Structures are given as structure tokens and as C-alpha cells.
Structure 1
Amino acid sequence: MDNIISLASVLIFTVLILYLSHLFTKSLGNRMGMKRSGSCMQMLDRLPLGQDKAVAIIRTGSRYYLIGIASSQITLLAELSEEEVPKETAAPSAFGAESYENFKNVIKKYTDKHRKDV
């Protein structure tokens, strides 16, 4: 009988620890998402390209920039006009599947324009 009580208490304790760790990581993730913007700058969208590599659209004041991010440097790829930035991206949003489609369109416009210049 003592073995059953001991086993049940260990099981309840384990489930409680798992639930509390889930709540903690969820709240930590929410707080980290809110720190993506400052008072003057804001990252509107980000597209990972590989390990430690990404491209992003940032807004500083009324200007928009397309930047390349690597582990050792950040490179300005282009300055975007307000018309080139999709309306859904111009407002801060969670990084969902629909924002990746909009971001994909911006990258496609930039690469098409760049290919014409060459």
C-alpha cells in the first residue's frame, strides 16, 4: 500500500513539475517576443535562411531597410520605400505563415530589380 501511495505522489509531483515548466517557458517566450521593438527601431519581419543567417525588414522612424544578418555581421541590402513594404508587415505582428508569404514577395521584388540592374 505504501508503494502505491509513494508511486502516486511521485507521478503527481512529476506532472506538476512538467506543467510549471510549461507555464514558465510560455511566459518567457511571450516576454521575449515583446522585446523585438525599441522606442526608435522595430523589426517588422524576419526570414531565417540557415543556421545563423537571416534577412529582415526593419523600420527606423519612417524609413524601411532590408538587412542581411549573419553570425559575424549585419549588411544593408536595400532601403525600401513604404509602397514596397506590405501593409501587413508595416504593423508589428507575430511571425506567422502569412507574414512569410508577404516577406517572400518583398524579397522577390528586390531580387528581380537587382537582376535587371546587372
Structure 2
Amino acid sequence: MSKMFKHLAGLLIVIILMNSFSTTVSAEDPSVNDCMEEGINCEKLETQDTNTENKNTVLTDQEEEGSLIIELIKMFFALVLVLGLIYLLLKFLSKRNKLFNQVKALENLGGVSVGQNKSVQIVRVGNRFYLVGVGENVELLEEITDQEVIDDLVSKNTSTSIKQVSGLSGFFNSISNQDGKEKQDFNKLFSSELEKLKAKRNHLLQQRKDKEDSHE
């Protein structure tokens, strides 16, 4: 009796397993051939295709959004680089202008040697004239205040001083004019690049908006 019960239980288990296997096979999604040949579960197949297309559309939108973010980051770093170059250029021009002002305010009117590696020099600082001794150290000997002496010194060194100062002034003026032109050209180039970046950004945003509208 117990053996018969065991056989029946085993047979029942086999039948249950076979039914489960057949149910699993029948629950599999129909293929395109099944839909075309037998016409079964075509609606389910169409639904799956629609879901796949929607997933692909979502992935495409995410990729486009990531590309837009990358482009915006690139534009930001390009703008930072351009601003940094402008800052360095302005700093360089400021140093050059300071050097030019120092050259205009200081002038050596000449001197005479009084020994080995020693001399006496007349130096103009602004509108004042000084007599200095140059050796191991530079010492101020006195300030020249006699107007007749000043006029005599200036008249004797007029031709040389005018040529030197004019040549130096002309040199720095030409550099200054060239720098002004370069600065103006650089500003135009900078404005042009900014306009290009803005136009590119607006184009990307418009493309994204158009695609979102078409998906809706």
C-alpha cells in the first residue's frame, strides 16, 4: 500500500512538473514569425516594439542632454581662458607704462671721471637737478639750485638730450600705439568669440527644444 502511494505521489509530481514546463513555454513572448504565420499575440508584440522605441528615445534624449552639458562646460572654460589672457595683457601693459614714466622722469645729463671706477654725475629727477658721486656707493653731493647753472647745463646738453629723449620717447610712443592697436584688435576678437559661443549655445538649446516638441 505504501509502495503504491509512493508511486502515485511520484507520478503526480512528474505531471505537475510537466504542466509547469508547458506553461512556461507558452508564456514566452511570441516572435515576429509567430505573429505573421499564426496571428497569435500580435498586440503584445506591437506593445513590446513600442516600449523598445520609447526606451531608445529616452536614451537618445539623455545622450543629447549629456552632450549639451559638455558643450556648456567647454564654453565656460574657454571664457575663463580668454578672461585670464585679458588680465595678463592688462598687467603687462601696466608694467610697461610704469617703466615709460620712470624713463621720462629720470635723466642723466652727463658726468666726468674723477678716478678709477669713480665719477661725478649730474642727474635730473623731474624738475630738480642733483650732483651725485658714483663709486662703490652712490652719494648725493648737492642739489643744484642756481638757475644760471641749470640753464647753462641744459643749453650745453640740449641737442644730445633732445635727440636721446625724442628717440626714446618716439620708441615708447610707437610701442604704446602698437599696443593700443593690438588691444583694440584683441577686444574685437574677444567680442567675436563671445558672439560665436552665444550663437552655438542658443543653437544647441533650440535643437534640444525642437526635439522635445517633436517627441511630445
TM range (shorter): 0.3 to 0.5
TM-score under structure 1 length normalisation: 0.42
Structure of greater relative contact order (alpha carbons < 8 Å, 6+ residues apart): 1
More strand per residue: 1
